């Protein structure tokens, strides 16, 4: 039966290839309708340089394309280049594929949009100022679960030979979907009809439904179960060979998919000794949905006392004080505030899931990794500070005496937008699961988070005893609003500092200058208000002009180079999985520390527990290797590591004991004793 099954797979592959060969010639001149393809260059190129080309593949709904090795059935893409003299196309680079099991046949496919990247070498004698015409005849197989159609496309591109300019930003997304190369060597050996591989991979990396895609044809049984186990920091993979197998190759090129998020590693294994199978792989178990919903609710509730929420406490305090005016109004405002918080959490969650589905390697709090968003928040904080000072009067959320439900709703939107970047206790597992679960369940978790964040305000709105504890509205509220200038002003300063970290000095100076112009504009509007004159039209025109200048000027000032972080008193090194693996292999204790400048919880932990002389001294005595991952800007390597460990954002801390023991995920609120005690145990 096994021989018959293997033979059927070979027959299926052969029939697909013959059908494709017969039909491809007639279809060569026709553009695809099921998978559309186009050719793009990342930027122009100077003589002697290498530019990356992309074959952008876009399957229609229900259709899919294939990886280099399509599996039991299918057909990989072929590329026939027509290049100017001296130009050379390199090896095509494919994103991490997906598995598709149909009638017992395993297929290696791409169900959504994907891009194949190809390096193009420009010759030294290419004439600057000329245009190179690049032509490609690409052939591929487009399939649904029931039918396959051979397709092709004549793709052309005019590549300027000049200074690089006008870089195509899509390449960041496409490149992020490629498997990361594994630097350490992998080994394979044949034991009977089982192909065994030893892949160096830190024990801390949790795998969720991993799969190994072998590029070599007919070396493994694609549909057979794959067995994974741990032997220290080595991942042992055991694959069944088909009854009719190809000759054992000199090397084995493979892609290891780490989890359902599409993150993967590429490596080439050579013959060698493979250790015995170790502890069976512990798949990262996702808790039941009710448990996750409770965690999201409690996490949102605790965000109300986390430091990251402090910048908007002034808005909430004034809203809470106003809630004592009448029972009906309090309930309306409580419901409106709750609706605003939940709407913001759902919007952020939906955007996060859509971007991740499109290949973006991002996590929770992604909005504060964007310089433009930070500049917008800086202008908003500046406007609120000016309003608190009395420079102008506008019905901003929670500030006017008659903003009612609309103001409460807007306050909820702002509260959620600013508060959600932090990942507090109970919230980490829920948000990590939200990125992996089906969309409906993930959105339910985001809604539960919003409900938890809004719960205290909602309780005050609906429980008369709690409202009775609040002071009555009166003149004191004006003085209170003046005092709230301080926290909002500090928030604006913090955002200016973050703008510098994200976009560089030029970007920060421009954002601050725009904030100053905004204050001047609001001061002018306030002056007209005090004289009884209308300031509406002039203010709207001024804000519109300011917005136009911001959109035109700020994006071009963002610095692309990431500033190196100082090692601090702990001697922290930049995080990388290679450095982590080296330290673990050497038997050293390791403290992994994931942080970001916009995460106030991270900064509190650093001041209270990490960047302390007692902690640093304990680390030095124990020889602890401290690896710090700075997630202030987007970093695909850190995002992949967080996702692999079931975390959606920062702060995130791990401790690895000396001698290669299993890693421990530490709480998100640290104390000095947690780190010092572990270091002392490691030094014994």
Q: How far apart are CA 367 and CA 372, in angstroms?
A: 9
User: Could you tell me the pLDDT band of residue 200, with boundaries at 50, 70 and 90?
Assistant: very high
Could you give the residue range(s) of every CATH 2.60.40.1250 domain in the chain? 2-168
User: CA 652, 656, 657, 661 torsion: positive or negative?
Assistant: positive
Q: How far apart are CA 157 and CA 561, in angstroms?
A: 30
Closest CA to 210 of 364, 201, 219: 201
User: Could you tell me the pLDDT band of residue 17, with boundaries at 50, 70 and 90?
Assistant: very low
Q: How far apart are CA 48 and CA 187, in angstroms?
A: 36
User: CA 297, 302, 306, 310 torsion: positive or negative?
Assistant: positive
Using DSSP, state whether 268 is helix, strand or coil.
strand
Could you give the residue range(s) of every CATH 3.40.30.10 domain in the chain? 573-683
> Homologous superfamily of 573-683 in CATH?
Glutaredoxin (3.40.30.10)
Only one residue has tokens 């109004």, namely: 329
Most confident among 38-47, 243-252, 435-444, 630-639 (mean pLDDT): 38-47
Q: How far apart are CA 221 and CA 105, in angstroms?
A: 10
Give φ, ψ of 594 to 5 degrees. Answer: -100, 125
Q: Which residues, 6 or more positions from 548, have their beta carbon under 8 angstroms from its beta carbon?
A: none
- pLDDT tens figures, 413-438: 877 876 766 555 667 667 777 776 77
Give Cα 436 to chain centroid, integer Å: 12
Q: For position 634, what pLDDT does the model report?
A: 82
Q: How far apart are CA 336 and CA 318, in angstroms?
A: 15
Q: For position 536, what pLDDT does the model report?
A: 62
Longest pairwise C-alpha distance within the chain: 93
Judged by average pLDDT, the poorest of 226-240, 291-305, 404-418 is 404-418
Q: Which residues, 6 or more positions from 500, have their beta carbon under 8 angstroms from its beta carbon?
A: 507, 508
Q: Which two tokens stand for residue 521?
A: 């504009």
**Contact between residue 488 and residue 341 where contact means Cβ atoms under 8 Å apart:** no
Q: Which two tokens stand for residue 644?
A: 């692999």
552 burial level (CB within 10 Å; 0-12, 13-18, 19+): exposed
- pLDDT tens figures, 455-481: 888 888 888 887 777 666 667 667 777
Q: What percent of the chain has pLDDT over 90?
A: 30
User: Could you tell me the pLDDT band of residue 1, with boundaries at 50, 70 and 90?
Assistant: very low
Q: How far apart are CA 684 and CA 680, in angstroms?
A: 7
Average pLDDT taken over every residue of the chain: 81
**Contact between residue 450 and residue 365 where contact means Cβ atoms under 8 Å apart:** no
Closest CA to 284 of 448, 442, 437: 437
Using DSSP, state whether 105 is helix, strand or coil.
strand
Q: For position 123, what pLDDT does the model report?
A: 95
Q: How far apart are CA 272 and CA 250, in angstroms?
A: 11
pLDDT average, residue stretch 576-580: 81
Residue 407 host element (H or E): helix 404-419
- pLDDT tens figures, 339-353: 999 999 999 888 888
Q: What percent of the chain has pLDDT over 70?
A: 82
Q: Which two tokens stand for residue 450?
A: 């919003």
- pLDDT tens figures, 549-570: 777 777 778 876 665 567 778 8
- pLDDT tens figures, 47-95: 999 999 999 999 998 899 999 999 988 889 999 999 999 999 999 999 9
Q: C-alpha distances in angstroms, 282 versus 133, 438, 498?
A: 52, 22, 39
Q: How far apart are CA 242 and CA 104, in angstroms?
A: 14
Q: How far apart are CA 66 and CA 92, in angstroms?
A: 13
- Beta-bridge mates of residue 141: 150
Q: What is the CATH number of domain 181-280?
A: 2.60.40
| Neighbour order of strands in the sheet with 105-110 | 65-71, 105-110, 98-102
pLDDT average, residue stretch 218-229: 87
Q: How far apart are CA 629 and CA 650, in angstroms?
A: 10
- pLDDT tens figures, 120-172: 999 999 999 899 999 999 999 999 877 889 999 999 999 999 877 778 889 98
Q: Which residues, 6 or more positions from 683, have their beta carbon under 8 angstroms from its beta carbon?
A: 618, 621, 622, 623
Q: Which two tokens stand for residue 536?
A: 């509406």
- pLDDT tens figures, 351-366: 888 877 665 667 777 7
Q: For position 282, what pLDDT does the model report?
A: 55
Residue 161: DSSP 8-state: B
CA angle (356 as vertex; 107, 504 as ends), nearest 5: 135
- Looking from the CA of 154 toward its CB, the CA atoms found within 13 Å total 7
Assigned CATH class of 2-168: mainly beta
Most confident among 285-299, 395-409, 514-528, 608-622 (mean pLDDT): 608-622
Upstream peptide bond of 651 is cis (omega within 30 degrees of 0): yes
């Amino acid at each position: 039966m096994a021989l018959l099954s293997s033979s059927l797979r070979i027959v299926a592959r052969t029939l697909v290839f013959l059908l494709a060969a017969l039909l491809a010639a007639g279809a060569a001149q026709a553009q695809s309708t099921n998978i559309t393809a186009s050719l793009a260059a990342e930027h122009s190129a100077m003589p002697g340089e290498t530019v990356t080309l992309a074959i952008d593949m876009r399957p229609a709904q229900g259709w899919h394309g294939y990886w280099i090795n399509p599996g039991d059935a299918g057909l990989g893409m072929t590329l026939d280049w027509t290049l100017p003299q001296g130009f050379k196309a390199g090896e095509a680079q494919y994103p991490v594929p997906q598995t598709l099991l149909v009638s017992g046949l395993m297929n290696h496919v791409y169900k959504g949009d994907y891009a194949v990247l190809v390096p193009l070498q420009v010759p030294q004698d290419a004439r600057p100022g000329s245009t190179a015409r690049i032509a490609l005849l690409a052939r591929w197989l487009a399939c649904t679960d029931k039918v396959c159609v051979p397709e092709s496309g004549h793709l052309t591109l005019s590549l300027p030979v000049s200074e690089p300019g006008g870089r195509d930003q899509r390449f960041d997304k496409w490149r992020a979907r490629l498997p990361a190369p594994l630097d350490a060597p992998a080994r394979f050996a044949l034991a009977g009809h089982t192909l065994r591989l030893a892949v160096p991979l830190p024990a801390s990396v949790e795998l969720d439904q991993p799969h190994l895609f072998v590029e070599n044809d007919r070396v493994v049984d694609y549909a057979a179960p794959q067995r994974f186990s741990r032997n220290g920091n080595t991942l042992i993979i055991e694959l069944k060979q088909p009854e009719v197998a190809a000759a054992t190759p000199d090397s084995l090129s493979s892609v290891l998919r780490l989890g359902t998020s599409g993150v993967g590693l590429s490596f080439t294994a050579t013959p060698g000794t493979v250790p015995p199978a170790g502890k069976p792989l512990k798949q990262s178990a996702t808790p039941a949905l009710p448990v996750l919903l409770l965690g999201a609710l409690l996490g949102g509730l605790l965000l109300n006392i986390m430091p990251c929420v402090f910048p908007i406490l002034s808005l909430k305090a004034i809203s809470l004080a106003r809630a004592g005016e009448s029972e009906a109004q309090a309930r309306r405002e409580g419901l409106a505030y709750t609706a605003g918080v939940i709407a913001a959490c759902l919007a952020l969650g939906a955007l996060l899931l859509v971007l991740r589905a499109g290949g973006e390697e991002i996590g929770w709090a992604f909005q504060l990794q964007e310089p433009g968003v930070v500049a917008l928040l800086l202008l908003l904080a500046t406007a609120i500070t000016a309003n608190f000072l009395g420079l102008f009067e506008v019905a901003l959320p929670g500030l006017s005496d008659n903003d009612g439900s609309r103001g409460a709703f807007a306050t909820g939107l702002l509260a959620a937008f600013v508060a959600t970047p932090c990942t507090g206790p109970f919230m980490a597992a829920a948000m990590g699961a939200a990125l992996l679960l089906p969309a409906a369940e993930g959105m339910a978790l985001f809604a539960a988070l919003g409900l938890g964040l809004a719960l205290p305000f909602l309780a005050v709105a609906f429980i008369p005893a709690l409202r009775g504890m609040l002071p009555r509205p009166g003149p004191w509220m004006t003085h209170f609003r003046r005092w709230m200038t301080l926290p909002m002003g500090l928030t604006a300063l913090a955002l200016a500092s973050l703008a510098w970290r994200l976009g560089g000095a030029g970007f920060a100076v421009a954002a601050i200058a725009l904030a100053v112009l905004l204050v001047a504009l609001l001061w002018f509007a306030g002056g007209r208000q005090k004289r009884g004159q209308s300031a509406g039209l002039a203010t709207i025109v001024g804000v519109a002009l300011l917005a136009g200048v911001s959109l035109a000027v700020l994006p071009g000032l963002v610095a692309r180079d990431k500033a190196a972080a100082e090692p601090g008193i702990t001697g922290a090194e930049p995080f990388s999985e290679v450095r982590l693996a080296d330290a673990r292999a050497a038997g050293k204790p390791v403290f992994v520390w994931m942080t970001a400048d916009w995460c106030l919880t991270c900064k509190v932990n650093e001041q209270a527990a990490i960047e302390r002389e007692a902690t640093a001294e304990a680390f030095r005595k124990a020889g602890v290797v401290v690896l710090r991952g700075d997630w202030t800007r987007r970093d695909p390597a850190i995002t992949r590591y967080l996702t692999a460990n079931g975390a959606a954002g920062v702060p995130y801390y791990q401790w690895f004991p000396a001698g290669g023991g299993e890693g421990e995920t530490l709480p998100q609120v640290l104390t000095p004793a947690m780190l010092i005690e572990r270091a002392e145990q490691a030094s014994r």
